[in-house]
A and B are shown apart, each in its own frame.
Chain A
Amino acid sequence: MVIYGIALLGICTLLGLFAGELLGSLFGIDANVGGIGIAMFLLMCCTSFFKGRFKIGDVSEKGITFWSMIYIPIVVAMAAKQNVVGAIDGGLMALLAGLLVVAVSFIFVPIISNFKRK
């Protein structure tokens, strides 16, 4: 049943977000602390468990893979609802700060990725 896959995904997402909110209130901050990461971790645990013991089933699996495939269109919709005018109207300082941070951060991606190999 395709709903089993969607429900499993839903359980992992809700548990993760719940744990993230709990962590947030534990630290006293008004933000979700890694809820999505915890949810992804749970989903990975579930799927490796299912692979070992019994199959989740091809049809149920489609309930999860559908959502991972619809990801890009969701991101396009997310781009279309951004406050782009707000970003550009923020003035020179906001533009400069954003640009500088992004440029320097990009430079550090290969540097940190290659740390261990040397």
Chain B
Amino acid sequence: MEILNEVLISNNLITAFVFVGLIVYLSYFFSNHFTGGRFHGSAIAIILGLIFAYVAGLLSEGQKGVADFAILSGVGILGGSMLRDFAIVATAYGANFNDLRSSGKAGVFSLLFGVILSFSLGALVAISFGYDDPRSITTIGAGTVTFVVGPITGSAIGAESEVIALSIAAGLVKSILVMTITPLVAGRIGLDNPKSAMVYGGLMGTNSGVAAGLAAVDPKLVPYGAMTATFYTAVGCLLVPSVLFFLVSALY
């Protein structure tokens, strides 16, 4: 047993391939036999992954889901930003230039609109929970943009660390909800063509949420959503600590 453990740990990336392969296999089995294929296998796999991450987080009290266990540390590499970005770029192979160009304006608009919308809603929730200093309100609003914008804004404008932690939590909730809800509502919001995928990427903006959401709907749409989402965090980092912070300060 100890020897097996050692093999699994020292070859952690390969162990991760096996682990993810099993999750995907189970998910497609479940999808075909219990939902008649109506609920997509990859959507189930992503939800299963999140459940494992939750249980692992409870057991290990760490922050990296199953990757906190030595045996599954390879999952952290496989699901880390390096390979994720590499694979996202690869999905652009075969994407259509003309689709991208014809939806460019809607994409850019949704990007700006999405950042401001997310920020305003987050700020409103913060106000309704009794926060009344502009730093806290701005930081929590920034967290609902993405969990990267939250801490960057918070430290830039000097918010309390407790508020920064809250903003990260809000961003995490957003990202996880986007992952899980997207396949459920895709049909109703018309998420089935490159243009709506670009708008979706610009409105949601969370890289991991958009990446997983579109993967579960139609992998062909991934490059279009990823194209706008990749600019979202940057737009948030630009707008929130400057223009939007001044606006909030002016109102309070």
Residues of A near any B CB (own CB < 8 A): 9-10, 12-13, 16-17, 20, 23-24, 27, 29-37, 39-41, 43-44, 47-48, 61, 64-68, 70-91, 93-102, 104-110, 112-116
Contacts and interface: CB of A to CB of B under 8 A. Distances in A.
Interface in B115-149: 117-118, 121-122, 125-126, 129, 140, 143-144, 148
Nearest to A29: B237
- Which of B172, B175, B177 has the most CB atoms of chain A within a 10 A radius of its CB? B172
A83 B84 contact: no
- Main SS class of interface, B: helix
B33 to A, nearest CB: 19
Interface residues of B, number: 106
Interface string B150-185: 001000000000000110111111111111010001
Interface in B196-252: 196, 199-200, 203-204, 207-208, 211-212, 215, 219, 222-223, 226-228, 230-231, 233-234, 237-238
B110 A33 contact: no
Contact of A64 (B20, B90, B143): B90
Nearest to B57: A85
B58 interface: yes
A86 B172 contact: yes
Given A81-B53, A110-B196, A93 B126 contact: yes
B87 interface: yes
Contacts of A17: 85
